[in-house]
């Protein structure tokens, strides 16, 4: 039950959203489509579902070309960010909807439908709420009803569009873990759209990073985080400092070739004394000393380059740095990318 997309293009009113995009999602995986807003990830999801028609390309679900088929024939479960529950129906009827609208010959009996709804209610941990109306539920409960409703028709694929986007941080955290668990139990091929890199890294088996209608990289969370294919992926997956010079004593970037270096704030080491050759001198602009991680805003001496450093609270107390003091910073690890050309470059360990 794999999802295959071949050379898909789509534009809205002459704005090209997807460019010749090809993607394969293997059976049973939980995959995140990650990208900034406007990157085309939701459009891709809607194309797979059949809610939009592609301008060019093919979509193959479970080995069957469904490009010309409507949304009803594709056997997908779709969950929207804002739940899209039928607000004039109670939870029971919302979940049973997909079973009740089947053609008479394929329709289950009343009692079987009731049983299925009960099973689904216990699956999404909403037992006893069958008589409630959507307006009487919390956001997290509504999203679980939406999920149960999508699962009721036993879809081959589950597509979720920013499923936790409308929920508050704590509920989102819970539901993420719960979705992981659910996917583990059901083993249904699932694809979810998100713009939250943390969510993608935490929940997905595999991440597809989309930008401006193209795929930048596909890989496991570890792969995309530790070996980003290009500077976009690096920047998108976490906080990043950019230095317009090949920073790398280890010589992994040819100094003759113009390049840029990216360093995560926590990969920078701060001290009051000069350490090693690759040391940067900087002044402290601001200190954010709340929580276990302390963040410093620094300005490289003699330039207008601002960057961020993260250190543990413990280290911060040892250093006792304050605004306007001069410190020395040494990168532990940097990623170099050739300037403008978004090509892969190995990470470079800088030794002192």
Query: Which residues of this protein are in contact with another protein, per CB under 8 A?
Result: 49, 51, 70-72, 76-78, 80, 82, 84-88, 97-98, 101-102, 133-135, 146, 149-150, 152-153
How far apart, in Å, are the Cα atoms of 171 and each of 138, 164, 165, 196, 324?
10, 8, 11, 15, 40
Identity of the residue, 152 or 260, whose beta carbon is nearer to another protein in the bound complex: 152
How far apart, in Å, are the Cα atoms of 229 and each of 50, 83, 192?
30, 34, 21
Identity of the residue, 50 or 331, whose beta carbon is nearer to another protein in the bound complex: 50
Nearest distance from C-beta of residue 46 to another protein, angstroms = 9
Nearest distance from C-beta of residue 204 to another protein, angstroms = 22
Residue 263's nearest CA partner among 291, 238, 242 is: 242
Identity of the residue, 77 or 265, whose beta carbon is nearer to another protein in the bound complex: 77
**In sequence order, which residues have a C-beta less than 8 Å from that of residue 267 and are 6 or more positions away?**
331, 332, 333, 334
Identity of the residue, 107 or 239, whose beta carbon is nearer to another protein in the bound complex: 107
Nearest distance from C-beta of residue 4 to another protein, angstroms = 20
Number of H helices, E strands in the chain: 9, 19
Nearest distance from C-beta of residue 171 to another protein, angstroms = 18
Identity of the residue, 40 or 98, whose beta carbon is nearer to another protein in the bound complex: 98
Rounded Cα distance between 53 and 32, Å, is: 22
Residue 42's nearest CA partner among 196, 159, 169, 143 is: 159
Nearest distance from C-beta of residue 72 to another protein, angstroms = 5
Nearest distance from C-beta of residue 132 to another protein, angstroms = 10
User: Could you tell me the two tokens for 176?
Assistant: 């993420």
Residue 99's nearest CA partner among 138, 155, 43, 58 is: 155
Identity of the residue, 157 or 232, whose beta carbon is nearer to another protein in the bound complex: 157
Rounded Cα distance between 194 and 236, Å, is: 12
């Amino acid at each position: 039950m794999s999802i295959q997309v071949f050379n898909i293009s789509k534009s809205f009113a002459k704005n090209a959203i997807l460019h010749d995009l090809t993607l394969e999602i293997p059976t049973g995986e939980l995959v995140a489509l990650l990208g900034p807003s406007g990157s085309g990830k939701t459009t891709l999801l809607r194309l797979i579902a059949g809610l939009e028609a592609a301008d060019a390309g093919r979509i193959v679900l479970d080995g069957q070309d469904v490009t010309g088929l409507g949304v009803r024939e594709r056997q997908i479960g779709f969950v929207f960010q804002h739940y899209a529950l039928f607000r004039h129906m109670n939870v029971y009827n919302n979940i049973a909807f997909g079973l009740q609208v089947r053609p008479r010959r394929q329709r289950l009996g009343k009692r079987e439908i009731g049983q299925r709804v009960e099973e689904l209610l216990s699956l999404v941990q909403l037992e006893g709420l069958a008589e409630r109306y959507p307006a009487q539920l919390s956001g997290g409960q509504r999203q679980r009803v939406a999920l149960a409703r999508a699962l009721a028709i036993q879809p081959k694929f589950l597509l979720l569009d920013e499923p936790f986007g409308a929920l508050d941080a704590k509920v989102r955290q819970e539901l993420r873990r719960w979705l992981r668990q659910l996917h583990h139990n059901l083993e249904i091929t699932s694809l979810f759209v998100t713009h939250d890199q943390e969510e993608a890294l935490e929940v997905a088996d595999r991440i597809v990073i989309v930008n401006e209608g193209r795929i930048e990289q596909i890989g496991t969370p570890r792969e995309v985080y530790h070996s980003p294919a290009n500077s976009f992926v690096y920047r998108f997956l976490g906080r990043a400092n950019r230095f317009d010079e090949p920073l790398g004593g280890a010589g992994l970037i040819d100094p003759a070739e113009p390049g840029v270096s990216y360093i995560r704030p926590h990969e920078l080491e701060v001290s009051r004394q000069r350490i090693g050759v690759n040391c940067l001198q900087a002044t402290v602009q601001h200190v954010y000393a709340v929580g276990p991680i302390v963040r410093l805003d620094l300005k490289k001496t003699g330039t207008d380059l601002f960057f961020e450093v993260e250190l543990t609270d413990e280290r911060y107390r040892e250093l006792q740095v304050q605004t306007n003091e001069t410190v020395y910073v040494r990168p532990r690890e940097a990623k170099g990318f050739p300037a403008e050309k978004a090509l892969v470059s190995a990470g470079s360990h800088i030794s002192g």
